Amino acid sequence: MTIGWKTLDVGEQALIYDIQGRARVEEGPKRIFLFRETFKRLARYSANQTEFIIITNKNGLKEHLPGPAVVYKNPLVHENVSISDGISLDANEVLVSYRIEEDCNVQRHIHYGPMLFMQEASEWLHLFEWHGKDPVSKTRKIPGQLKFTKLRVIPDQFYYNVEEVRTADDAVITVKLMIFYELKNIEQMLNSTQDPIADFINCLSADVVAYASKLTYLEFIERSGELNENARYPQLHERCKVIGYEVSKVVYRGYHADDKLQRMHNRAVAERAKLKINFEKEQQEQSLTDFQLEREMERIETEQKMEVEALEHIHKMEKAQMLHRLKLKTEEQEEIIQQYIEQKQSSLQGKKLENDQKIRHYGQLQQMSVDLTQYLLSLSERPEKIVRVIAPSNANNIHFHHDRL
């Protein structure tokens, strides 16, 4: 019990009990005089815009009060008061919750981001418990290792090694894979499976074991690239259709065999590699020899072609020179012939003029009544000898012999 003054500041509340056990709540700012009363300051709980206050009443009713809000914990009414953060969702995240409706039925709700989710009092979140990555090895999965409430709806991937895979000749190997997947239907996934990663692992193992069991160890090594094809995983794709997922690609990352078997295989690979290197070396040497011979033949053909072209050029030049000389000779002969023709024409022209002059002269003499026959005889030279041949009228042949002086 207290007697005296008590002060309440702004934003404070207090619970005051009297001697009869009755209680009242006082709110500041206020100055209170207490007489045989008990003073108890109440705890203040405030939530901002991203928080909400969880209130548990003594009558069992639970309330969620979204911020901004302030609640004073009253021990007469409240069993517990706490503050919780709202759940922020990105654009690629989904939250699944269950809520008791007014008809007492439970309904499932899917909340897509981006948003800030404030949980109601009659609502609880779906907790996913899936196979998760082993802290020691990223290629092994542990049941229940991955626990979360935010579901990612973007394409994702994980590594996984399928162990204890036995081939047709009883060789035990480990196949390394990488799976790319994407969630397509959330409702279908929630209704069909509790752990899709476990479904992926089981179907992958079944498909890989079924594929490897038909092949020997060497055949598996030669054809292991086929594990990159989606057609090699029929059980995986069939199960994905049921649980609302889509596997876009399965990447084969290699294999691991028993150490003894691996050493034997490594020795065989080394021997094959050595033989292949020797084969390629011999092949390269043969190719080099063929290349050298081919180039030598091309060089000889080129030289012969150049010699032929040189001879053809020489013949062409000689022919051109000969044609040039013939042309000059022809031009020279043509010039001589032209000069001869011109000389003859000049001589003929001169004789023609002379004859014309004589004709005019004889014409003038004839006009003057001159006997041209006597005139012409007078102009001719006197002969040294005159031979007169008189033959009989009945003679057919006459023989005439003349001695040369």
Model confidence pLDDT, tens digit, residues 289-340? 999 999 999 999 999 999 999 999 999 999 999 999 999 999 999 999 999 9
386-405: average pLDDT = 60
Task: Quote the pLDDT of residue 405.
Answer: 43
**Could you report the per-residue pLDDT of 241-259, keeping only the tens digit for each?**
999 999 999 999 998 887 6
Residue 269 pLDDT level (bands cut at 50, 70, 90): low
Does residue 189 belong to any structural domain of this protein?
A: yes
Of the candidates 256, 287, 306, which is a domain's last residue? 256
Contacts 24+ apart (CB under 8 A), 87-90: 87/116, 87/117, 87/119, 87/149, 87/150, 88/50, 88/113, 88/114, 88/115, 88/116, 88/117, 89/113, 89/114, 89/115, 89/116, 89/117, 89/150, 90/114
Q: What is the 3-state secondary structure (H, E, C) of the chain?
A: CEEEEEEECCCCEEEEECCCCCEEEEECCEEEEEEEEEEEECEEEEECCCEEEEEEECCCCEEEEECCEEEEECCCCEEEEEEEECEEECCCEEEEEEEECCCCCEEEEEEECCEEECCCCCEEECCEEEEEECCCCCCCEEEEEEEECEEECCCEEEEEEEEEEECCCCCEEEEEEEEEEEECCHHHHHHHCCCHHHHHHHHHHHHHHHHHCCCCHHHHHHHHHHHHCHHHCHHHHHHHHHHCEEEEEEEEEEEEECHHHHHHHHHHHHHHHHHHHHHHHHHHHHHHHHHHHHHHHHHHHHHHHHHHHHHHHHHHHHHHHHHHHHHHHHHHHHHHHHHHHHHHHHHHHHHHHHHHHHHHHHHHHHHCCCCHHHHHHHHCCCCCCCCCCCCCCCCCCCCCCCCCC
> Contact at 8 Å (CB) between 66 and 52?
yes
Residue 19 pLDDT level (bands cut at 50, 70, 90): confident
d(CA 80, CA 198): 40
Query: Residue 403 pLDDT more than 70?
Result: no
d(CA 128, CA 153): 14
**Could you report the per-residue pLDDT of 364-375, keeping only the tens digit for each?**
888 887 777 777
Counting residues of the chain whose pLDDT is more than 90, the rounded percentage is 52
Task: Quote the pLDDT of residue 389.
Answer: 62
Task: Quote the pLDDT of residue 189.
Answer: 94
147-160: average pLDDT = 92
Residue 1 pLDDT level (bands cut at 50, 70, 90): low
Task: Quote the pLDDT of residue 384.
Answer: 60
**Could you report the per-residue pLDDT of 193-251, keeping only the tens digit for each?**
999 999 999 999 999 999 999 998 888 888 989 999 999 999 999 999 999 999 999 99
As given in the structure block, the two tokens for residue 225 are 């690239």
75-96: average pLDDT = 92
Which residue, among 88, 96, 51, has the nearest Cα to 71 in the 3D structure? Answer: 51
As given in the structure block, the two tokens for residue 383 are 């002969």
Does residue 2 belong to any structural domain of this protein?
A: yes
Does residue 180 belong to any structural domain of this protein?
A: yes
Query: Residue 344 pLDDT more than 70?
Result: yes
Query: Residue 75 pLDDT more than 80?
Result: yes
**Could you report the per-residue pLDDT of 26-68, keeping only the tens digit for each?**
888 888 888 888 888 899 999 999 999 999 999 989 999 998 9
Does residue 23 belong to any structural domain of this protein?
A: yes
Task: Quote the pLDDT of residue 400.
Answer: 61
Does residue 203 belong to any structural domain of this protein?
A: yes
Which residue, among 151, 153, 165, has the nearest Cα to 204 in the 3D structure? Answer: 165
Residue 401 pLDDT level (bands cut at 50, 70, 90): low
Task: Quote the pLDDT of residue 377.
Answer: 75
Domain span at 23: 1-41
Which residue, among 204, 202, 250, has the nearest Cα to 226 in the 3D structure? Answer: 250
* Phi, psi torsion values for 335, nearest 5 degrees: -65, -40
Does residue 52 belong to any structural domain of this protein?
A: no
Does residue 7 belong to any structural domain of this protein?
A: yes
Q: Hey, which residues does 337 pair with through a beta bridge?
A: none
Q: What is the pTM of this model?
A: 0.60
Does residue 387 belong to any structural domain of this protein?
A: no
What CATH number corresponds to the domain at position 238? 3.30.479.30
**Could you report the per-residue pLDDT of 63-73, keeping only the tens digit for each?**
999 989 999 99
Report the number of distinct structural domains present in the chain. Answer: 2
Q: Rounded to a whole number, what is the distance in angstroms from the first to the last CA of the chain?
A: 206
Burial (Cβ within 10 Å: 0-12, 13-18, ≥19) of residue 100: middle
Task: Quote the pLDDT of residue 240.
Answer: 94
Q: What is the mean pLDDT of the chain?
A: 87
